[in-house]
Chain A
Amino acid sequence: MRKGLLGIAAVAMMALTGVAHAEEKKVTIGVSIPAADHGWTAGVVFHAERVAKQLMEKHPGLNVIVKTSPDPASQANAVQDLETQGIDALVILPTDPDPLVNAIKEVKGKGTFVALVDRAPSVNDNSVRDLYVAGNNPALGQVAGEYIKATTPEAKVVVIRGLPIPIDQQRQDGFDQGIAGSKVEILDRQYGNWNRDDAFKVMQDYLTKYPQIDVVWCQDDDMAVGVLQAIEQAKRTDIQYVVAGAGSKEMIKKVMDGDKMIPVDVLYPPAMVGTALEMTAANFYGQVPVRGTYTIDATLVTKDNAKDFYFPDSPF
C-alpha cells in the first residue's frame, strides 16, 4: 500500500517534470527485484526506491519503474510487463538466476541494456547482461577471517552458518582462507538458517558444549541479534567479540557506538542495487563506458567509517 502510493506519487511527479523538461533525453529504466521477505531484500527494495527517486530528480527525462516479485515465476512475468511498457534498460536482481535467464535474454535480445545484480546464472557472459554488479561472498568470509586472525591470533572460534546453499559455502571457504596459517581454531560449525531464533538456540548449545569460546563468527547481522542475547543470558564473559556481516542499521549503529561485542561488521550491502542503477543511468546520461563486471568489496566497517554505511530510515 505504502509502496503503491509512493509509486503513484513518483509517476505523477514524473509526468509533471516530464512536461516541464520535454527537451531532456527520455529514458525509462525498469527495475525488477525480489519482494521484501527478509531483512536483506527489504534493504534492496528500500535502496532501489531511494536511488530511483534521487536519479529521477537529477535527470528530469528519466523514468524508473520499480517492481518487486516474490518468486522466479512472477519475476519472469514482471520482466515481461516491464518490457511491454517500453524500457531502455533493465536492472534486475533475480530471486533465482537460472530460471530467469531466458526472460532476461529475451529483453536483452531487443537491444535493451541489462544490468544484473548480485546473483549470477551459471552462464554469465555478455549474451545475458551488459553490466554485472556483484557482491563478494568469498571476501565476506575472508575479511572476517583476516580480522579475527589479526586481532586474536590464537582465538577459539565457533561458526554459525546460514543455509546449505552455494553462497554459504563460498563464505565458509573464504573464511578458511582468511584464517589460514594462523593458530585460530574452529571449534564447531552449525547451521543457524540466517534466522534470529535459530541462531539463539545454536549459540545456547555452543555455550553449553564449550567452556571457553573467544570469538563468534556468525556472518549475518540478523543471526548476531540472537547470538548476543544468548551470550547475555548465559552471563559468560569469555567471549571477546562477535563478527557478523551484511550491514544492517542495528549492527552498524553498534559499531558506530563502539560496542565491545560488535567491534566491526563486514559489508554485503543491499545498496548494491543502487550502484547498478547509478551506473545504468550513467550509461545513458554520462556517456561513460560501464559495460563489464563490477565487484563490490566486502568492506570492513569500523568505528571510523561506520557513519558512511548507516541508513537510519532503512527497514534493514
Chain B
Amino acid sequence: MSVNEESIQSTSHRRTWRDVDLRAVAPFAALALLLIVGAIVNPNFIGLNNLANVATRCAFIAIIAVGATFVISAGDLDLSVGSMVAFVASLMILFMNSGVIADPTLMLTAAVVFAVAAGAACGLANGLITTVGRIEPFIATLGTMGIYRGLTTWLSQGGAITLREPEIQELYRPAYFGSILGVPVPIAIILAVTAVAAFILYRTRYGRHVVAVGSNSDVARYSGIAVNRVRTIAFVIQGLCVAVAVLLYVPRLGSTSATTGILWELQAITAVVVGGTALKGGAGRVWGTICGAFILELVGNIMLLSNFISEYLIGAMQGAIIIIAMLVQRSLVRKS
C-alpha cells in the first residue's frame, strides 16, 4: 500500500531533489561505501580489471534476481531457480551433444531457442502449480526445486555433463568471455535485461498489475485484474531470466554437475531484498536488484583480496557486511 501512496506523490508533485525516493537510492549508497572500503583494503581492488571481473561474475545472480523481482513484487517466492539453472543448462548441453544438427552455428542457435523454451516451461510449471494448484509458492517451488535438482543428478548420473563439440565451444565461448566495445558481454546483457525488465515493470499495464497484486491481491481481484494470470506470467518471466543466465553460464565452464547453482535461490532473493524490494510484495526495484547482486559479489571479492581476514571467518564477515549495508539503507530512509 505504501508504494501506491509513494507513486501517487511522485506523480502529483514536480520532481525536486527533496522528492527523490531515498529507498531507491539507498542500495547505491551502500555500494559506494563498499567501493571505498575495498579500495582501502587492497589497491588492486579498484582496478578496472577487478571490477569488471566482479561485475561479470555477478551476471548469473543478477539476471536471475531480476526475474525474482517480478515474482517477489507479485507477492510470491521462487525457491527453484538454482536447481532450474542446473536443469536447463544440462538439457542445453545434452541437446548440443546430441548432434541432431550438423552445422555448428545452426546447432548453437537451435540450442539457444531450446534453452529459452525450457526455461519458460519450467517457470510456467511453477506458476501453474502455484495458481491452478493453489499451493503456497514456498511449498510449490520447494517441490520443483527438488524435482529439477533430482532430474539434473539423474541426467548426469551424479557426475558432470560436459559440452563435447569443440567447434561449438569455440563459437560459444565469446558469449561469456568476449566483449562489445570494451564492455564484457555479460555486463552488456545484465544492462539489457534490466532495461527491458524496468520498462515492463514501470511502464506497462502488466507491470502495474504485478505491483497491485503484490500489494493486495483481493483488492486487485475486485478491480478486475486476472490475478492468477499475472502471477503465472511473473513465474514465466523468472523462468526466462533463468534461461538467459544459463545462456551465459554454459559458455563459461562448458559443463554442469549436480552441484551447479546450489543455493543460488538464496543469493537471488538476498540481492532482491538488498536492492530495496520488500519481501512481502507490492514494490519492485529492478535497478536496485542488480545493485544488490553486485554488492553480494563485491563482499566476497573484498574478503578474498584482504590480507587480514582469516579464511575461517569469511562467512561471518559476509553476513555482517550485508546486515550493515541494510542498516545504512534503513537509516537513509528514516531520515527522509
Tell which of B22-30, B72-80, B93-101, B252-260 binds the partner: B252-260
Interface residues on B, range: 20 to 34
Tell which of A37-45, A52-60, A126-134 binds the partner: A37-45
Partner among B157, B162, B258, B260 whose Cβ is within 8 Å of the Cβ of A197:
B260
**In the complex, chain B residues whose CB is within 8 Å of the CB of A206:** 304
**In the complex, chain A residues whose CB is within 8 Å of the CB of B49:** 208
B47 within 8 A of A: yes
**In the complex, chain B residues whose CB is within 8 Å of the CB of A204:** 53, 57
Contact assessment for A196 and B158 in the assembled complex, using a CB-CB cutoff below 8 Å: no
**In the complex, chain B residues whose CB is within 8 Å of the CB of A41:** 158
Partner among A161, A233, A315 whose Cβ is within 8 Å of the Cβ of B311:
A161
What is the number of residues of chain A that contact chain B, defined by CB distance less than 8 Å? 37
**In the complex, chain A residues whose CB is within 8 Å of the CB of B33:** none
Query: Secondary structure of the A side of the interface?
Result: helix
B10 within 8 A of A: no
Mark out the residues of chain B between 15 and 48 whose CB falls within 8 Å of any chain A CB in the assembled complex: 42, 44-45, 47
Q: List 5 A-B contacts (CB under 8 A).
A: A36-B258, A37-B158, A38-B259, A189-B311, A208-B305
Partner among B50, B177, B253 whose Cβ is within 8 Å of the Cβ of A208:
B50
Mark out the residues of chain B between 143 and 180 whose CB falls within 8 Å of any chain A CB in the assembled complex: 153-154, 156-160, 162, 177
B319 within 8 A of A: no
Tell which of A74-82, A87-95, A222-230, A288-296 binds the partner: A222-230
Min CB distance B81 to A, Å, is 15
Given that A195-B259, A208-B50, A209-B304 are contacting pairs, would A225 and B156 also be in contact in the complex, using a CB cutoff of 8 Å?
A: no
Given that A35-B158, A37-B158 are contacting pairs, would A200 and B153 also be in contact in the complex, using a CB cutoff of 8 Å?
A: no
A275 within 8 A of B: no
A286 within 8 A of B: no
Contact assessment for A315 and B160 in the assembled complex, using a CB-CB cutoff below 8 Å: yes
Given that A201-B57, A209-B304, A229-B252 are contacting pairs, would A191 and B311 also be in contact in the complex, using a CB cutoff of 8 Å?
A: yes
**In the complex, chain B residues whose CB is within 8 Å of the CB of A185:** none
**In the complex, chain B residues whose CB is within 8 Å of the CB of A201:** 57, 300
Q: Mark B193-224, 1 if CB is under 8 A from A, else 0.
A: 00000000000000000000000000000000
A71 to B331, CA, bound (A): 45
Interface centre among A42, A191, A197, A314 (most CB of B within 10 A): A197
A202 to B300, CA, bound (A): 9
Given that A202-B304, A209-B304, A226-B253 are contacting pairs, would A315 and B159 also be in contact in the complex, using a CB cutoff of 8 Å?
A: yes
A197 to B314, CA, bound (A): 17
Contacts A200-B57, A202-B304 aside, 12 further interface pairs with beta carbons under 8 A come to A36-B158, A42-B157, A45-B158, A190-B314, A200-B252, A208-B45, A208-B49, A209-B304, A222-B257, A315-B156, A315-B160, A316-B159
**In the complex, chain A residues whose CB is within 8 Å of the CB of B50:** 208
A196 to B256, CA, bound (A): 9
Min CB distance A142 to B, Å, is 21
A164 within 8 A of B: yes
Contact assessment for A250 and B162 in the assembled complex, using a CB-CB cutoff below 8 Å: yes
Contact assessment for B44 and A208 in the assembled complex, using a CB-CB cutoff below 8 Å: yes
Contact assessment for A39 and B257 in the assembled complex, using a CB-CB cutoff below 8 Å: yes
Given that A37-B153, A42-B157 are contacting pairs, would A191 and B257 also be in contact in the complex, using a CB cutoff of 8 Å?
A: no
A208 to B159, CA, bound (A): 31
Min CB distance A257 to B, Å, is 14
Nearest to A190 among chain B residues (CB) is B311
Contact assessment for B257 and A196 in the assembled complex, using a CB-CB cutoff below 8 Å: yes
A1 within 8 A of B: yes
